[in-house]
Amino acid sequence: MRGRRLIDYLASKSMRLTAIFVNSIAFLMIFGLYWKSRPLLALKSLTHLLTSDVWAPLSGKFGFYPFIVGTVEVTAIAMVFAVPTCLLAAIYLAEYSPRRFREGVRIVIDLMAGIPSVIYGLFGVIVIVPLVRDLGRALGRPTTGYTLLAGGVILAVMVAPIIVSVTVEVLRAVPMEARETSMALGITRWETVKHVLLRSSLHGVISAVVLGFARAFGETIAVLMVMGNVARTPHSVFDAAYSLPALIANNYGEMMSVPLYDSALMLAALILLVVVGGFHLAAHLALYRIEKRS
Amino acid sequence: MKRRKLEEAVVKALMIASLGLIVLCLAGILFVIVLRGARALSWDMIFQTPKGGYYLGKGGGVANAIVGSLYLTGGASIVALLLSLPIAFALQRESSSRAFARFTRLALDLLWGTPSIVYGAFGFVIMVFFGLRASLLGGIIALSLLMLPIMTRAMEEIIDMIPVQLKEVSYSLGATKIETTLAVVLRQALPGVVTAAMLAFGRGIGDAASILFTAGYTDYVPRSLFDPAASLPLAVFFQIGTPIPEVQERAYASALILLLVVLGVNLLSRLLSMRFSRHTIR
């Protein structure tokens, strides 16, 4: 009996320890990345690094501004394409379609979420980049096709599964009575969605969009493959651009041979972690509240 | 009234068009990759490692990347499984307070959303700390960090759904917590555990950013944990980046192999989960 108790005690303690370990990973990552980026932060202030637009590692100039602009803009373009499409599709799935159809589409969406980003990138290189090149030519803006726009389109496709599936879940969480009440008043389905459902699940829908935003913000390989990667602030959607994750991924080869280069890249990773983490924190807290209510 | 009906019809048409567009994107991606990949795929691609001059269009294949990917993701799956099972068990109602469970769930959700390039960078920091070079081990560390939250969160959700009565029966017979967990909870949750592991495996094998500077790339099959390891996603990435058309063709073939592996894992997880659910009590 004593042996069994002892085993139970040891097992639950060690399981508890693993759980505490996973809770500390985020802090460990922030600390580790900060530790590596400190040499650079000791020389230049964070605001200077974030607002300077000169990127010349060989002469010790690390201005993140073009990359931050590139990342924010490509993500914004993706959201412009993805948000209306995904919300409409999600409303259809949650409110209009029969159950079996919804289950079927869910499998398709899961499949889409599981496709590796390098394959999305390859699709971008084969299909989207030539399309953008033709579009640019037609509009009198000759480009190589490797542009901000191409990155935005690919990201829009990549974030679609997240936005759709979270929105569907949020809408399904609204109690049936809310729909019945409004329909009993002679209101059409769309008006019910517009006035009742979207209003009561606004936080959830915003969270879905924020989760998509965060995903797009940190996406690396696909963006790296289609955006051209020029360290200059882009001025139009037909310009090449460079995102923060792409910057890290593209320069790991040289980073050990140039002083402070590794610090700069680790700082970029830290910025990504903090920004994406912040968005996720806000979105998940909102979603938990919805889950608890339903 | 007519205007309202019209609005309804227009919005509904837009919705169907949107959904169609999304499904069409997926179909388009599958179609393009399969079409372009199938043309370049051959047995040599699957079973041979790169020969001399491979990157100039000479003979060979991506067997190094296929095996490397399996080693990396297999190793990372084992590490992640060993960590995620205890965590998922520890989050059960009788083992931890609600506040602790909720906090851990939030932490896991945050980790899930963390970009894979950040795991790559953090993996690099760990490797510098321990004096490791780009190697299979480094890749496994970064990849298992990436897969851990996916696996744990999926498992924990399944375990949370197990009826309390089932556990209470076991407790009432005098079983301890760990005995109940292993004999009742684990068996009951087995299909979910398998699905969770496969889900994470599928995510891990397709991820390129986390292993870019932790696992490195090599033309050889790794012999030990301290050798660098090639991987399929990076094989696609590097080969499409060269200016030589023959090599680019191979990127398409590699992408098709990767896609088939990912889809295969997906399908297999569905089948296995059906198979294993024979042991569960409903």
Query: What are the tens digits of pLDDT across the range B168-219?
Result: 999 999 888 888 988 889 988 888 898 899 989 999 999 999 998 888 888 8
Rounded to whole angstroms, the Cα distance separating B108 from B263 reads 25
Question: What architecture does CATH give domain B45-279?
Answer: Orthogonal Bundle (1.10)
pLDDT band at B40 (very low <50, low <70, confident <90, very high): confident
Could you tell me which residues come within 8 angstroms of residue A177 by beta carbon, excluding any fewer than 6 positions away? none
| C-alpha to C-alpha distance for A265 and A268, rounded to whole angstroms | 5
CATH number for the domain that contains residue A180: 1.10.3720.10
Is A221's CB within 8 Å of B18's CB? no
- From A28, A114, A272, residue closest to B118, measured CB to CB: A272
CB-side exposure of A176: number of CA atoms within 13 Å? 0
pLDDT of residue B280: 67
Residue B46's pLDDT is 83
pLDDT of residue B221: 86
A250 and A264 together in one domain: yes
Residues A155 and A34 in one domain: no
Same domain assignment for residues A214 and A236: yes
- Do A15 and A83 belong together in one domain? no
A18-28 average pLDDT score: 92
Q: Where are the domains of chain B?
A: 2-40, 45-279
- Average pLDDT, integer, range B273-281: 69
Which chain B residues touch A291 with a CB distance below 8 Å? none
Q: Do residues B155 and B84 touch, judged by C-beta distance below 8 A?
A: yes
pLDDT, average across residues B261-281:
79
Bridge partners (DSSP) listed for residue A241: A228
- Considering its fold, how many domains does chain A have in total? 2
Its pTM stands at 0.91
Whether B211 contacts B203, CB under 8 Å:
no
Residue of B12, B19, B237 with shortest CB distance to A118:
B237
What is the three-class DSSP state of A62?
A: strand
What is the pLDDT at residue B123? 92
- Range(s) of the domain holding residue A159: 48-293
B256 touches chain A (CB under 8 A): no
Q: Are residues A37 and A118 in the same domain?
A: no
Chain B CB contacts of A278 under 8 Å are: none
**Chain A positions in Cβ-Cβ contact with residue B213 (cut-off 8 Å):** 252
Give the pLDDT band of residue A294 (cuts 50, 70, 90). Answer: low
pLDDT by residue (tens digit) across A200-243? 889 999 999 999 999 999 999 999 999 988 888 888 888 888 99
Q: Across the interface, which of B124, B212, B259 has its CB nearest the CB of A119? A: B259
Question: Looking at the structure, do residues A239 and A122 belong to the same domain, yes or no?
Answer: yes
Average pLDDT over residues A51-64: 85
pLDDT of residue B25: 92
Contact status of B251 with chain A (Cβ, < 8 Å): yes
> Across the interface, do A122 and B240 touch by the CB < 8 Å criterion?
yes
Q: What is the pLDDT of residue B68?
A: 93
How far is Cα B17 from Cα B30, in angstroms, rounded to an integer?
Answer: 20
User: In this prediction, what percent of chain A has a pLDDT beyond 90?
Assistant: 56
Per-residue pLDDT, averaged over A270-289, amounts to 92
Q: Which of A4, A146, A162, A221 to mutate to test the interface with B (most CBs of B within 10 A)?
A: A221
Among A51-60, A85-94, A95-104, B271-280, the least confident range: B271-280
Average pLDDT over chain B, rounded to an integer? 89
Task: Report the sign of the C-alpha dihedral through residues A65, A268, A208, A195, in that order.
Answer: negative
User: In the predicted model, is pLDDT for residue B279 greater than 70?
Assistant: no
pLDDT of residue B246: 85
Work out the percent of chain B whose per-residue pLDDT is above 70. Answer: 96
Q: Which of A22-26, B110-114, B214-218 has the lowest mean pLDDT?
A: B214-218
DSSP 8-class letter at B115:
-
**Residues A52 and A145 placed together within one structural domain of the fold:** yes
Judge whether B31 is closer than 8 Å to chain A, CB to CB.
Answer: no
Is B28 in contact with A123 (Cβ distance < 8 A)? yes
Distance, CA of B140 to CA of B71 (rounded, Å) = 9
Name the residue facing A221 among B29, B179, B209 (closest C-beta).
Answer: B209
**Spatial CA neighbour of A232 closest among A72, A78, A70:** A70
The verdict on A72 and A8 lying in the same domain is no
A119–B236 CB contact, under 8 Å? yes
Residue B63 contacts A, CB cutoff 8 Å? no
Q: Do A236 and A199 share a domain, yes or no?
A: yes
The confidence band for B278, taking pLDDT boundaries of 50, 70 and 90, is low
Mean pLDDT, rounded, of chain A: 90
* B99 to chain A, closest Cα gap in Å: 13
Q: Which structure tokens are listed for B186? A: 């684990």
Please report which confidence band the pLDDT of residue B260 belongs to, taking 50, 70 and 90 as the band edges.
very high
Query: Measuring CA to CA, which residue among B71, B60, B100 is closest to residue B231?
Result: B71
Residue A108 and residue A245 share a domain: yes
**Model pLDDT for residues B139-172, shown as the tens digit of each residue:** 999 999 999 999 999 999 889 888 888 899 999 9
> Which residue, A52, A226, A64, A118, is CA-closest to B117?
A118
